[in-house]
Amino acid sequence: MVFLSWNRPSPQEQKACIEKSGAFNYDSKYRGTTAKQLSSLQEDGELSKDGFLSNHARILVGSGLETYEKGKSALQSWRHFGFNWTFVDPKTPIQSGEKFCVCVKEFFPWLMMPLQMVYVNENRNTKNAVASFSFGSGTLQGHLLAGEERFAIELDENNRVWYEIFSFSKPAHFLSLIGYPYVLAKQKYFAHQSANAVRKHLSS
């Protein structure tokens, strides 16, 4: 099952995709895994044993609490997906359990790939002025990949603001299986473009 559209997917098409998508397409034991510390996951090695590959990018995007709050707003309004080749409906609420589509233009057709938010986390320590906001989404049936992805914005103890993407995935369809090297390259390209989009929002 693959969800395609020859034109930019309408809200109605995205809704139909979500309604037909079904449940998560990856093992429940990995649900919420992207919320864990990256170092502990690397030490554990269970993801790689089950055939998952990880993608991680952490980019410095500015400094100060105001920049952090603006970065948080960027994630909440899906500015990190604001491209002509991929988007998420910016009205999609950031809340656990919410289903949505990532729409991606691949050559001629558009792909609609259904996901569901697994968690939303926000932490703030007023004592040392550290704060973070993140959310993780898992793939549903009908997605070309199986796995989970986290987006985060963080204000560290040195007043620096970081934008972070972490995901693990493996092919869930023969199309992604035969084109997986391309998929991995596209993930890295997205991380670069997404960081630029966040920076652009912060400087506006």
pTM for this prediction: 0.93
What tens digit of pLDDT does each residue of 92-106 get?
999 999 999 999 997
185 has a pLDDT exceeding 80? yes
For domain 3-203, the question of CATH label 3.90.550.10 is answered with: no
Sorted by where each begins, the domain ranges of the chain are: 3-203
Contacts for 194-198 with beta carbons within 8 Å, 24 or more apart? 194/80, 194/81, 194/163, 194/165, 195/57, 195/59, 195/61, 195/163, 197/74, 197/79, 197/80, 197/81, 197/82, 197/83, 198/59, 198/61, 198/71, 198/74, 198/75, 198/79, 198/80, 198/153, 198/163
| Range picked from 78-87, 102-111, 125-134 for highest mean pLDDT | 78-87
Average of per-residue pLDDT across 8-28: 95
The tens digit of pLDDT for each residue in 36-82 reads 887 777 767 888 899 999 999 999 999 999 999 999 999 999 999 98
Confidence of residue 126 (pLDDT cuts 50, 70, 90): low
The pLDDT score that the predictor gives to residue 8 is 93
